[in-house]
Amino acid sequence: MAYGEWELKPWHEIPVGSIVPEAGSSKVNKTGSWRMLRPVLNYDKCTHCLICWIFCPDDSIPVSPQERFETDFEYCKGCGICAVECPYNALEMVPEMEVKLKELEEQLG
């Protein structure tokens, strides 16, 4: 179990020629660990226009027709495109380390 839920297949179960036989295989490749900067959403500014969802290259922004939900940090690489494209400046790119440290502090009390 190297990458999240990606189960490593034994050699004889790999398709001949090491091909990838099904679509959506990027789903198992959780790219969130690459993130250096984290898009932090200011819900007060967000109008749910969904422009960030259109531009996100990793499809990491879950939405309903009316609402933008919190970014999916299992896949978000922190590219910052959403922050640039947001017409309301509702997203701020914060160093991941700061966020992690803050979380740790909270945990430790």
Q: Which of 5, 9, 65, 108 binds other proteins (CB under 8 A)?
A: 9
Phi first, then psi, for residue 97 (nearest 5°) are -60, -40
- Asked if residue 35 lies in contact with residue 97, where contact means CB atoms within 8 angstroms, the answer is no
Residue list 30-59, contact with other proteins (CB under 8 A): none
Beta carbon nearer to other proteins, 74 or 85: 74
Region binding other proteins by CB under 8 A among candidate stretches 8-16, 33-41, 49-57, 71-79: 8-16
CA atoms within 13 A on the CB side of 22: 6
Q: How many residues does the chain have?
A: 109
Region binding other proteins by CB under 8 A among candidate stretches 14-22, 41-49, 58-66, 89-97: 14-22
